[in-house]
Amino acid sequence: MATTTGRVYRIATVTCSVRAPRLNPFISQYVRDTIAPSRTGIALDIIDLQDQALPLCDEPEIPSHLPPDDPTPHYRNEHTRRWSETVRGYDAFIFVTPQYNWSIPASLKNALDYLFYEWKGKPTAVVTYGGKGGGKAADHLRQILTGLQMRVAKSTAQLTVTSKTLEYCLKLDEINGADTERWRKDGMEAELQNAFKELVDMLQGGQ
């Protein structure tokens, strides 16, 4: 999937859980590896929310009340300015998140609520994982991203994990072939590729 404009687009895969031990970095890597072969003209990075070290949102201003063109310098805290700068540097996002208690983890909602214009209008896709794939978290997240006025891809991969998945990842330092084979059979590999194609189409159509 080559871009037709000659511009290199930057897409971030976002690791959304910040707990330890956690499966999320392994799943994010799988998502990136699955879409990477078709990435001509696209820079694909992984952002780990753990590295952002954001506390529960402590900004006094509502982000949508800041100047749309350049909100970054208007935040009070250095961690917010850094997060704003990071998000402004990307053209699209793939959120990879576990489901906790039928919704998304607080770490993800917190990172989203810190900003507004940095997200607005950008293409985004949702990937969840859980014992049943995390579909309830996907529904909530898609609604939240729509509230942030992002353009949400229709394709959404929901990856089932088993009681052994984390144990294997920590032992092998990669995802077990039995897991990736199940996801491929479930059609999730194709769904990820479709989601990526939707993002690229939105980026090129949006020029």
Interacting residue ranges for a second copy, rule: CB under 8 A: 18-21, 54-60, 100-107, 109-110, 112-113, 136, 140, 143-144, 146-148
Which tokens sit at 99? 């489901």
> Is the Cβ of residue 40 or residue 146 nearer to a second copy in the bound state?
146
> Is the Cβ of residue 34 or residue 99 nearer to a second copy in the bound state?
99
Q: Give the strand order in the sheet containing 42-48.
A: 42-48, 9-15, 92-98, 123-130, 151-160
SS3 call for 121? coil
How near is the Cβ of 163 to a second copy at its closest, in Å? 11
Which tokens sit at 161? 């994990």
CB burial of residue 153 (10 Å; 0-12, 13-18, 19+)? buried
Q: Please give, one letter per residue, the 3-state secondary structure of 76-115.
A: CCHHHHHHHHHHHCCCEEEEEEECECCECCHHHHHHHHCC
How near is the Cβ of 20 to a second copy at its closest, in Å? 6
> Is the Cβ of residue 102 or residue 187 nearer to a second copy in the bound state?
102
> Is the Cβ of residue 32 or residue 142 nearer to a second copy in the bound state?
142
How near is the Cβ of 170 to a second copy at its closest, in Å? 13
Which tokens sit at 2? 């080559």
> Is the Cβ of residue 104 or residue 200 nearer to a second copy in the bound state?
104
How near is the Cβ of 21 to a second copy at its closest, in Å? 7
How near is the Cβ of 55 to a second copy at its closest, in Å? 7
